[in-house]
Amino acid sequence: MINGPESIDDAGPRAGERDEHELGALLDFLHRDRGFDFSGHKRPSLARRVRRRMVAVGADSVADYIVHLERSPDELAQLFNLLLINVTSFFRDPAAWQALAGRLPAIVGPHADTPIRVWSAGCSSGEEPYTLAMVLCEALGEDVFSRRVKIYATDIDEEALALARLATYSPAALESVPAPLVERYFTPSGSDFVFRKDLRRDVVFGRHDLLTDAPIPRVDVLVCRNLLMYFNAETQERLLERLQFASNPGGVLFLGKAEMLLSHGKIFSPVDLKLRLFTRVPPSVDARAPADGGAARASRQRSASRREDGAPSRDPADAARERLRAMFSESAPIAQIVVDAAGCLVGASQKAAQLFSIGPRDVGRSLEDLALASRPADVHAGFERARLERRPVQLKDVERVLASGDKAFLDVDVTPVIAGPLGVAGAQITFVDVTHSRRLRSELRRANLELEAAHEELRATRLELRGLNEELQSTNEELETMNEELKATNEELETMNEELQSTNEELQTINEELRQRGTELNQTHALFDAVLASLHVGIAVLDRELRVFTWNAKMTELLGVRPRDAEGKHFASLEGALPLREIAASLRAALEAREESRRTLDGKSARGDALKLEVRVSPLRGEGMRGVIVLVGEVG
């Protein structure tokens, strides 16, 4: 039960209904106040993770936990980290990655010159899209990769995306990467490793909700691993229809080990079922956007019924315009615009509107009239080329002058929308800001500076349980999730225990050394004081500025100055029985020329009696030592 950790089904059907109601109240709160919709996730898995957080904070009911969430913003982050399970690693399931690499030449055409679009959906902390980059580089070569490939990596978790953008990983995280690939694609940064900056510019990270945001279109390789298993059957079907719309004909869908698609053969057909490689089954001819369940099917049936009743069929030009509008999505994760066959604006995404200051009044304006680049003709020429050649065109480093006077640079992809006998209905144009990466390459040529902070520790790598039973998929999904969470917690506890043990041992060692050194220092001080007190001559040790460092009892007797009054004072200022000014030259000679001198001087005792005093001035000897020793004794 959500209310307590010890009873889930012990109260029968009523308890189950109450649990479902309370979980629904929490999910409504998260959707209403935080904008996260978990309604499509599997309820048992969500209930178990919520219960875990409730036990951790001591909440007795969901209502109490919601109050705790409202009062503690940090708890919301803890809950999302648990609900959005970010289990990932480099080259996860190596055999599957090897199979994908073997199929890439047939998908992307190594000797062609068309853009290659790759989408890593649910990319978590970035290991998966960077694995894709390495696999594509090995298959195509770095020059072809930089010229043709664009990898779009999306996730709903902003914290995971922040880690992914840093592209910084610990040696433990790279254990599954072959050593030659680590050497080729990562550069050391302190104790960690950073993915190469020149290849990093071709990986674009962005927040994207698979359930609500428009899918990225015309994708050749679509990787969505171990994500579908967290959703219920209805939501899985919606997602697969969206992924079908996103995929290019002949493209490949790469899923995780727990995902079979046995009941979705009309959407994707298997290429290698064991290794979870699928290819898109083309949608019906009248599908122009991701299916919208029964409503979309009913609409198509109504259209067919009207044609059967003798109503005139729809104008192909209207169909083309509808297709253009279907491609347009204001919530697209990248900056994109859609234009018609005349090059006039049909619509723009929110990111494009912000980037180019596009408003409702700009709809219908020509590309040449929009402030898309320093030379509007560049983008328009790319559109004309794509329209005439009826194939995608890519423009690199298109210059744009900002309002501040600074320059920005964009990579522009122009993809024509083919409209059958009408030719080209228009085009979809996407913009990727590469100003930062261009500046980064320039700075790297001048100096090898770190441009991205790497102060946050990467979360521990969590491995999933192997040996999934394909016939009991639903049960195994829950078991796999539970084992991943338990293993991650255990690893964290073991790591903390080892760190605490190591720190304790270091502190004990340091404490013992300090104790021994303190004893030795006390013994040395006692010995030094005893030696000075035992001598029958006056001794004064002066530092490099001729100030008194130490002063024995005989010197106090001769000069009538106590040690605490002498220490720290300039030696020449301590007038007494000894005419100190007469030996000033000897002091400087001993300090500067390292010369020793001996003189006999007339002096007076503290009682006023005349004395003959022998004064010996010697430099202080020893490595790194500089000072003077003055010895004063009575003659006769």
| pLDDT tens-digit map of 16-38 | 566 677 777 777 877 776 667 77
Q: What is the CATH number of domain 94-280?
A: 3.40.50.150
Q: Which CATH homologous superfamily contains domain 316-446?
A: PAS domain (3.30.450.20)
| pLDDT tens-digit map of 408-457 | 888 899 988 877 655 788 888 988 888 888 888 777 877 665 655 444 45
Where on the phi/psi map is residue 248: left (φ > 0), alpha (ψ -120 to 50), or beta? beta
d(C-alpha 420, C-alpha 286), whole Å: 13
For residue 313, give Cα distances in angstroms to 170, 310, 411.
61, 9, 40
The helix/strand/coil state of 615 is strand
Residue 276: pLDDT above 70?
yes
The helix/strand/coil state of 569 is coil
* pLDDT winner (highest mean) among 43-47, 162-166, 611-615, 618-622: 162-166
d(C-alpha 479, C-alpha 44), whole Å: 12
| Residue 179 pLDDT level (bands cut at 50, 70, 90) | very high
* Residue-level pLDDT at 475: 73
| 220-238 core/surface letters (b: 16 or more CB in 10 A; e: else) | bbbbbbbbbbbbeeebbbb
Distance from the first to the final alpha carbon of the chain: 103
| pLDDT tens-digit map of 291-318 | 333 333 334 344 444 444 444 444 555 5
Complete edge-to-edge strand list for the sheet that includes strand 186-189 = 168-169, 192-195, 186-189
DSSP label at residue 578:
S
DSSP codes, 472-526: GHHHHHHHHHHHHHHHHHHHHHHHHHHHHHHHHHHHHHHHHHHHHHHHHHHHHHH
- Residue 44 — φ and ψ, nearest 5°? -60, -40
Gyration radius from the chain CA atoms: 39
| pLDDT tens-digit map of 345-383 | 888 888 888 888 888 888 888 888 887 877 777 788 888
Specify the residue for token string 């006077």. 405
Complete edge-to-edge strand list for the sheet that includes strand 407-418 = 345-348, 335-340, 424-433, 407-418, 393-401
Q: What residues contact 514, with CB distance under 8 A and at least 6 apart?
A: none
Tell me the two tokens of residue 122: 């649910």
| Residue 60 pLDDT level (bands cut at 50, 70, 90) | confident
d(C-alpha 501, C-alpha 572), whole Å: 57
The pLDDT of 551-573, averaged and rounded, is 79
Do the bridges between strand 597-604 and strand 548-551 make them parallel or antiparallel, or are there none, so unpaired?
A: unpaired
Between 185 and 336, the higher pLDDT residue: 185
Residue 585: pLDDT above 70?
yes
Rounding to the nearest 10 degrees, give the CA dihedral for residues 468, 471, 472, 478: 40
CB-CB neighbours of 45 under 10 Å:
18
Where on the phi/psi map is residue 376: left (φ > 0), alpha (ψ -120 to 50), or beta? alpha
| Residue 15 pLDDT level (bands cut at 50, 70, 90) | low
Q: What residues contact 120, with CB distance under 8 A and at least 6 apart?
A: 128, 129, 132, 151, 152, 153, 154, 223
* Residue-level pLDDT at 467: 56
> What's at 207, amino acid-wise?
R
Do the bridges between strand 116-121 and strand 219-223 make them parallel or antiparallel, or are there none, so unpaired?
A: parallel
Mean pLDDT in the chain?
Answer: 77
Lowest-confidence region among 27-36, 222-231, 544-553: 27-36
For residue 229, give Cα distances in angstroms to 161, 188, 234.
21, 36, 12
* Residue-level pLDDT at 299: 40
Q: What is the CATH number of domain 535-634?
A: 3.30.450.20
| Residue 606 pLDDT level (bands cut at 50, 70, 90) | low
Tell me the two tokens of residue 437: 């990466």
Residue 171: pLDDT above 90?
yes
H or E segment at 336?
Answer: strand 335-340
d(C-alpha 158, C-alpha 597), whole Å: 78
H or E segment at 46?
Answer: helix 43-57
For residue 360, give Cα distances in angstroms to 175, 322, 429, 444, 594.
52, 19, 18, 41, 89
DSSP label at residue 41:
B
| Residue 6 pLDDT level (bands cut at 50, 70, 90) | very low
Tell me the two tokens of residue 41: 């996730």
Q: 1-83 has which fold?
A: Chemotaxis Receptor Methyltransferase Cher; domain 1 (1.10.155)
Rounding to the nearest 10 degrees, give the CA dihedral for residues 385, 389, 392, 395: -30
* Residue-level pLDDT at 620: 83
HEC string for 102-148: HHHHHHHCCCCCCCEEEEEECCCCCHHHHHHHHHHHHHHCHHHHHHH
